[in-house]
Amino acid sequence: MIQLSEVITQLKSRNAKRIAVQLPEGLKRQAAEISRALKEEGFDVLISGDACWGACDLSLDALEWADVLVHVGHTPVTPEKNVIYLPFQQDIPLEILESAVPQLKKYASVGVTTTIQHAHQTKAICRWLNEHGVNAVIGEGSSRTPLDGQVLGCTYASAKNANAEAYLFIGTGVFHAIGVSLATKKPTFSLDPFADGILQEVSADRLLRKRFAQIEKAKSAKTFGILLSSKSGQARRELAERLATLNENATVILIREISEMQLRNLGFDAYVNTACPRLALDDQSRFPVPVLSPAEFEIVLGKRSWDDYVIDEILP
């Protein structure tokens, strides 16, 4: 549910007149309603129509027109002046945890993790599990994930901070749960509150087999494009520049939207992704050549062993 009242108070206290609003793809349909509500309060409104998947991609160019950018759906990943964040919260009924209790009780401690929609409930989830005999704990957040227990596809700091024997991820899909499992190397369970509500242990084996195949394929590459994002919270310039020094045929490419067509047009034999870490893991099947993570590139070059595989995270 999107609550505008607090944002309106903040906008008025800043004496803002012109407001730009940015929504992620899943919430864009609410643009007209938000615009109407803000106009009723006397603001001029501009909606950012570009695609957006996270607070890593702020529409800062809109601030050339607006006094303040209201970014809906996420917590901040980088400190920005004149940006107000309006996270999207979605309550889950705690009873869905019941089916998970017998399995989770087997572990000395269970770290509770979730995405931003449910992160306001982590304390309540933890309390409920404690009352039902599970030693649930919550790890402290980080500058990219300010809420305790919150994880992003690029940052699992709160999971690692929980230092638990096993982990529970509550949320949609298994991507984040696999990320927690790879980042912590501990048994990890996922519970989708909006699907069947059945606890399942996740395994990263299938993903790792696919990544291994891409690493093997990239070993015959003669040229490497090091993808450096120009998005506000994805730009890892130092990392891209360091990676480019590892191979004489590696070149840094500054790029905003990474698409199959762009990679094909650029024509490198393989790419190394320093932008959103999900890209290489989620979208590889769309790309014409291997798109490696930084650690995978080091494995290709013989500077890291496969046993030392780590998931790519954007760390503070």
Applying CB under 6 A, does 234 fall inside the site for ligand SF4? yes
Applying CB under 6 A, does 129 fall inside the site for ligand SF4? no
Of 7, 56, 207, 289, the residue at the interface with ligand SF4 (CB under 6 A) is: 56
Applying CB under 6 A, does 152 fall inside the site for ligand SF4? yes
Phi, psi of 76 (to 5 degrees): -65, 145
Q: What tokens does 311 get?
A: 């998931």
Instruction: Please give the angle made by the CA atoms of 93, 96 and 101, to the nearest 5 degrees.
Output: 135
Instruction: Name residues contacting ligand SF4, limited to 14-53 (CB under 6 A).
Output: 53
Of 34, 69, 154, 174, the residue at the interface with ligand SF4 (CB under 6 A) is: 154
Neighbouring C-beta atoms of residue 210, cutoff 10 Å: 13
Nearer to ligand SF4, 53 or 128 (CB): 53
Applying CB under 6 A, does 179 fall inside the site for ligand SF4? no
Cβ–Cβ < 8 Å for 151, 167: no
Nearer to ligand SF4, 54 or 294 (CB): 54
Return the closest-CA partner of residue 214 out of 265, 274, 288: 288
What angle separates helix 5-13 from helix 31-40, to the nearest 10 degrees?
50
Q: Identify residue 79 by its one-letter amino acid code.
A: P
Instruction: Name residues contacting ligand SF4, limited to 65-104 (CB under 6 A).
Output: 77
Nearer to ligand SF4, 78 or 89 (CB): 78
Applying CB under 6 A, does 54 fall inside the site for ligand SF4? yes
Number of continuous H segments (helices) and E segments (strands) in the chain: 11, 13
User: Would strands 188-191 and 200-201 be described as parallel, antiparallel, or unpaired?
Assistant: antiparallel
**Distance between CA atoms of 45 and 206, rounded to whole angstroms?**
46
Applying CB under 6 A, does 153 fall inside the site for ligand SF4? yes
In the complex, minimum distance from the CB of residue 157 to ligand SF4, in angstroms, rounded to a whole number: 12
- Per-residue binding string, ligand SF4, 266-285, x by CB under 6 A, is ----------x-x-------
The residue ranges that bind ligand SF4 (CB under 6 A) are 53-54, 56, 77, 152-154, 234, 276, 278, 314
